[in-house]
Amino acid sequence: MSDGFVLHGSPHSLPTYRVALMLRLCGVGFRFRYVSFQRRMHLTPEFRALSRWGQVPVLEHDGRVLLQSAAILEYLSETLGRFGGSDDVARQDIREWLFWDADRLYPPLYGWYSVSLGRRGLLPLSFDDGVVARWKMLGEAALGILDAHLADQHFLVGAEPTIADIASYGDIAFAKLSGRDPAEWPNVAAWAARIESLPGFAAPFDLLAMQDADIPA
């Protein structure tokens, strides 16, 4: 049962995983529509009619078409009444963490994953050594900031998990897929374990496959 949600994306897409994980943690089923970038499905007229930038994820719900993973997480939080923070102050803090993630944590850690895919021959990707070194430096610096923040907090904002945690956890999950051990940052590792213990949690390729599917609640 889909509960009216249709998610278009790829299991290799970190932003797609964030949205899928949010739905799973909220106990909501959804239909998954696989978009293969190798087969250039993101460039088809049908997909571009949904996604004006040709990007995933795309979430269809209740006659609406929603783009950009952080904005989708905010929509789902408001619609489903979960992981949204307890008051206006918390919601502002959540929004700030979402923007910080988009600026500092997500780009280098997703870069690590891209490098790993290329080195393993899973996708035709290659990167200049200088780019790889910069992603390593920026990613480790961002993880250091995250680790320091989590030294005396169970979650990013307040005592309960929010969409800020779900967004940033996706980065950690894909860093793991790249072969990086979050134990290098013990507070991050402990926080990630708390996310992984939430009811309904599933890792990226346990949740999504490279084919269309109905994902149960």
Both 69 and 113 in a single domain?
Answer: no
Q: Any idea what the CATH number is for the domain that residue 164 is in?
A: 1.20.1050.10
Instruction: Note the pLDDT of residue 2.
Output: 60
Both 92 and 178 in a single domain?
Answer: yes
Instruction: Note the pLDDT of residue 1.
Output: 47
Q: What is the DSSP string of the chain?
A: --TTEEEEE-TT-HHHHHHHHHHHHTT--EEEEE--TTTTGGGSHHHHHH-TT--S-EEEETTEEEESHHHHHHHHHHHHT-SS-SSHHHHHHHHHHHHHIIIIIHHHHHHHHHHHHHHTTSSS----HHHHHHHHHHHHHHHHHHHHHGGG-SSSSSSS--HHHHHHHHHHHHHHHTT--GGGSHHHHHHHHHHHTSTT---HHHH--SS-EEEP-
Both 209 and 123 in a single domain?
Answer: no
Number of domains composing the chain: 2
Per-position b or e across 75-109, b if 16+ CB within 10 A of its CB: bbbebbebbbbeeeebbebbbebbebbeebbbebb
* pLDDT above 90 (res 187): yes
| Residue range 38-97, pLDDT digits in tens | 888 888 999 999 999 999 999 999 999 999 999 999 999 999 999 999 999 999 999 999
pTM: 0.95
Both 20 and 114 in a single domain?
Answer: no
* pLDDT above 70 (res 191): yes
Domain hosting 145: range is 88-196
Between 114-118, 156-160, 174-178, the lowest mean confidence (pLDDT) is in 114-118
Angle subtended at Cα 39 by Cα 45 and Cα 18, rounded to the nearest 5 degrees: 85
Both 142 and 54 in a single domain?
Answer: no
Angle between helix 163-177 and 88-100 (nearest 10): 20
Q: Which CA distances in Å does 215 have to 30, 101, 141, 207, 211?
A: 5, 27, 36, 8, 11
Both 66 and 94 in a single domain?
Answer: no
